Structure 1
Amino acid sequence: MKKFILCNLVLLITQGLFSQEVTTIPKKKTQESFFSADFLSVDMPTNDLGLDEDHMGLTGIHYNLKFKNFYTGLGMYGVIRGKRGGFFTLGINAGYQSYLSEKLFLDTGIHFGGGGGAGAPDGGGAFILPHLNLGYTFRKMSLTAGYSYINFFDGGNIIGHQLNVGLQFPLTIDLASIEDAEKGFKIDDFTSSEWNKKAKRMSFMLHLNNLSVKGSSRDTKGNSLNGSTIRLAGFELNSYLNEKWFFFAKFDGAYDGIPAGYMNIFLGGGHHFSFNKNRTNILAKFGLGAGGGGGVDSQGGVLIYPDISLEQHITNNVYLSINKGFLMSPNSFFETSTFGVGLKYYSDINGTSGAEFSMAKFKGFEVIVKQDVYHNAERTLNPTENLYQIALQLNYHLNKNIYVAGQTAFANFGNAGAYAEGIVGLGFQTNSFFNKKINLFAQGLIGGAGGGDISTGEGLIFKPSAGMNYSINSSFALRGALGYVKARGGSLSSPMINFGVSYRLAFLSAK
């Protein structure tokens, strides 16, 4: 009997030791999604002089998550044709796709957002854009076309029925639960897991950029801008197709040099060249996008952006970047040379092969959509009233408690449709408590803002806030915060409140 008990005790201890050595790799989830771009030509109202204005050409970029036939996501629009260069919007999408055959489908949905600019009759900025499209699926993309309706309903005068055309590109995202964030493993632990595939390289950069205005560039009143310097702050995301080629998205807003309100958005591609044992990089880029506002006359709004960047390794995956290039309209009506600096963070994500990695860690990421309310936001000319805006914030978690944030926002109510923000900063969050349902956070953001007669001076604002997240499930949380917004050089100085939804995930970062 003693031998029997002793043998079983040894067996239990051995099993316990063995179970402690087993490494549990977080389960890989797959989220279906698609990226899309569309174009619509909007009929503009007759101006104050009784003259017809050219149609306003709006082009949009969207990212949507798919849940079987239903989809939802975010989209931005910018003007590329007409007289309203600098007109931008941000909004949320919701839609439904129903296949009529293997290739042919109906796509019906609605976009609700806020924005405006360039002196357009946008009212408070709030608008709806429903559509009914017919689509056809090719091997790697879909083509859509159909009817759409636009209405800036909060005191605006932009209302129209128009055709739209678009392209959709299907994507899948590999992700883990946000609860797995900051879990680290040795690369050998992934040998037989679903994560054992080629890693995809990404980068995120916070930067400052100076535009030295040249040539015959003018403001919207006809005054020369030659010799002026527009100072911008923003962020850039790069995604690599292979070791050398990448595409990028770049978002900037002015904070100094001209009246507040200028911003630009670029999409493009580039070539990456490394030397000095990958400690030094040279990147050649070319972007196409839209820009304007702040009194800058960018005509139709289309801008091109050739650029060369030099990067030097500082520590871990962080590089210091210096860039030199040009930003201009295709006909050089608006022309600048550019010089900027930035801090860039590289990450090889969602794979463990393809490089000499030794460790991998799951990193947290949040996509936040929220509604801001500024109490009694000071105006330059108009009476003071509350300002409402729709905002998109992206949080990258440096560790469990500290994150880097980038945010853009556009007015949607409050008689300030042209007002927009582009701000960046740092945040701190607590660990979850109350059965892992609640956590608290505090953050400080800084950057460019202006337009809509809001008194922001040349555009630099500070925006501290603190709030709470309440977890609905492992992917979504409700979010609310109190804070303050203060303009340097302007009269804007308002308490604020916001509420929204956070989509949370973790991706695998190898090094």
Structure 2
Amino acid sequence: MKKIFFLLITFVALNTFSQTDNLSNLKGNELRNSIRLNYILVHQPNIIYQNGHELDPTMGFIGLNYNFPLNDWLYTGVGFHAAITGDQGGLFTLGVNLGVNKQLYKNLYFDANVHFGGGGGFRSLVNGGGIIYPNAGLQYKAKNYSFGVQYGYVNFFTGIQKSDNVSFFVEIPTSLRSTTYADAQKTFINNNQSKDAFWTKPAVKSVQQVTFDYFFPFGDSRTDASTTPKYKPIDHTLSVIGFEYQRYLTSNTFIYAHVDAMYAGLTAGFMDLFMGVGKNFIETKYVNFFGKFGMGAAGGRIYPEGGLTMYPSVGADVKITEKFGLSAHGGYHRSIGGTFEAYTAGFSIKYYGLSGGTKDPFSNEEATSIKTQGIQIGVQNQTYLKVKRFGLTPEETYRNLQLIAIKVNYDLNHRFYIAGEASFAYEGESGGYAHGIFGLGIKSNRFANNKLSLFAEAAAGVAGGGRVDSGEGVLVRPTAGINYHVNDDLSFNFSGGQMWSPYGNVNSTNINIGLSYGLSILNAKK
């Protein structure tokens, strides 16, 4: 027993070892990225359903895009879109962007891009869920922001929902200071002797948190037509899990983005997305009281509405360590112009970050060291074979689904990592199906001239929509695969596994192929 214990301690120690070096030996890189918010007005098909429901003529579609440059004129990124007006509440899409941005005259630029992804709301309109959105227009760039107008064509190419349109956007520049993935999981001492101007810039203060919330609907809150009877009142607790990113603008004011998915209380399929602002009103060394107000989109498995939703909340944090804390909060989730409303209560696990510089951006306190945190960001095409769907004829019950996935791996050390993933269907007659999962992964050392490595992951999360028979949405998916490393940062990956829903009837073989880009975030330690 003592030998086993000794071997276990040795194994953990070896895998948590990080090299210590001088900060002047670390070469940094600043990625000048951007956050783009756009509004698209989409014309709807002229349809009257058997129950007499007639589609609203237009749908308001908002987008949240994070883009980063590939060179001086070419960029790529990730985009998330959601319906906020019309009667398409619950329509969400996720995809990737590829665009061109060229200066025409002084502050005036030509901007064009193509967005490809998957998602959906009314399945009869989007069918498989695939969306392609080419657009082009003009952009005016000021120092700290830009705005523009574009002409485009929203095309759910697997269905009948498609329309040309004029869209408007606002773009906010941001930056990410990092270094190569080869330098991940190292510690660099800050001795204030570096002459590199890169290290004189302040760090970015941020918070990431996983949230666990409970909704208590009241008033005229109702289900959609998937229940028996249709549109019945919701008078029970709904359970949701979410993720939130906060970035501080001042020492006590922050902006944030928040996304939720429901895993109990209704047939799987409810989601929401919010962007907002928050403020810490009372702060001590260990306890913090805050308030937030978010606006965004919500829907799925509730009565068809426009989607626009507000979500004010208040809460308190308890800081357990320098990096981790717990939070309790409550709020009011309200559909604007609709019927769904609920009081909310929940808790979250928080991670406090100070990255990209050697000093606190507000107190100017110098960090004693910089730890390089390895992160890999990837995009995948995922295939799920013979996925069971409900409420259909025997011939229509099983379909092979194609999903587009955005994946992030957060290294714990050189061996283990935390994996997070969001995936949306774009083919397979299940438009609107999506899942979000988290898990633990393990990877091998590289072999075959440092070109190959193996990995395995065990993940669980929430899934639903598109008539996929996942019950209330809980999903489990183990996978294993192989990486081909092009260089220290870029790799291609292939994996396979099994997806099943413990409270539903999905049990599907899964095949994934994709690419990943690795980098090291610079985390400051005081």
TM above 0.5, one fold? yes
Alignment partner, residue 77 of structure 2: 73
- Give per-residue Cα distances to partners, 1:210-239, cap 9 Å, x unaligned: 111111111224634342221111211111
Determine whether 1:214 maps to 2:214: no
Residues of 2 paired with 1:261 and 1:88: CA distance? 11
Asked if 2 retains the 8 angstrom alpha-carbon contact of 1:298 and 1:329, the reply is: no
Asked if 2 retains the 8 angstrom alpha-carbon contact of 1:213 and 1:225, the reply is: no
Matches within 5 A, 1:216-231: 216-221=220-225, 223-231=231-239
Alpha-carbon spacing, 1:21–1:303, altered in 2? closer, same or farther (3 Å)? closer
1:24 Cα deviation (Å)? 5.1
Residues of 2 paired with 1:441 and 1:284: CA distance? 41
Alignment partner, residue 317 of structure 1: 323
Residues of 2 paired with 1:213 and 1:290: CA distance? 17
1:190 Cα deviation (Å)? 6.0
1:23 Cα deviation (Å)? 6.3
Identity %: 34
1:119 Cα deviation (Å)? 4.3
Determine whether 1:475 maps to 2:481: no
1:485 Cα deviation (Å)? 0.7
Residues of 1 paired with 2:341 and 2:81: CA distance? 23
Determine whether 1:252 maps to 2:252: no
- Give per-residue Cα distances to partners, 1:263-315, cap 9 Å, x unaligned: 11111111125644x2222221111111111x212611011111122221233
Alignment partner, residue 327 of structure 1: 333
Alignment partner, residue 294 of structure 2: 287
Asked if 2 retains the 8 angstrom alpha-carbon contact of 1:298 and 1:333, the reply is: no
User: Which residue, 418, 421, 425 being the options, matches 1:407?
Assistant: 421
Residues of 2 paired with 1:232 and 1:134: CA distance? 40
Q: Which moved more, 1:257-266 or 1:199-208?
A: 199-208
Name the SS for the 1:453 alignment partner.
coil
Matches within 5 A, 1:58-207: 58-66=61-69, 67-154=71-158, 156-188=159-191, 191-193=194-196, 194-207=198-211
Residues of 2 paired with 1:296 and 1:89: CA distance? 18
Alpha-carbon spacing, 1:244–1:120, altered in 2? closer, same or farther (3 Å)? farther
1:316 Cα deviation (Å)? 4.4
Name the aligned partner's letter for residue 68 of structure 2.
L
**Higher Cα radius of gyration:** 1
Residues of 2 paired with 1:428 and 1:209: CA distance? 30
Name the SS for the 1:253 alignment partner.
strand
Determine whether 1:488 maps to 2:502: yes
Name the SS for the 2:25 alignment partner.
coil
Alignment partner, residue 440 of structure 2: 426
Name the aligned partner's letter for residue 286 of structure 1.
F
1:82 Cα deviation (Å)? 0.5
Name the aligned partner's letter for residue 299 of structure 1.
E
Name the SS for the 2:191 alignment partner.
helix
Residues of 2 paired with 1:404 and 1:317: CA distance? 16
- Give per-residue Cα distances to partners, 1:130-152, cap 9 Å, x unaligned: 11212222232222112111221
Asked if 1 retains the 8 angstrom alpha-carbon contact of 2:24 and 2:193, the reply is: no
Asked if 1 retains the 8 angstrom alpha-carbon contact of 2:35 and 2:172, the reply is: yes
Matches within 5 A, 1:458-469: 458-469=472-483
Alignment partner, residue 437 of structure 1: 451
1:259 Cα deviation (Å)? 0.6
Q: Which moved more, 1:439-448 or 1:189-198?
A: 189-198
Asked if 2 retains the 8 angstrom alpha-carbon contact of 1:298 and 1:334, the reply is: no
Residues of 2 paired with 1:304 and 1:22: CA distance? 48
1:505 Cα deviation (Å)? 0.7
- Give per-residue Cα distances to partners, 1:417-453, cap 9 Å, x unaligned: 1101122222222333333333322222222111111
Matches within 5 A, 1:391-402: 391-402=405-416
Asked if 1 retains the 8 angstrom alpha-carbon contact of 2:176 and 2:356, the reply is: no
Asked if 1 retains the 8 angstrom alpha-carbon contact of 2:123 and 2:430, the reply is: no
Name the SS for the 2:126 alignment partner.
coil
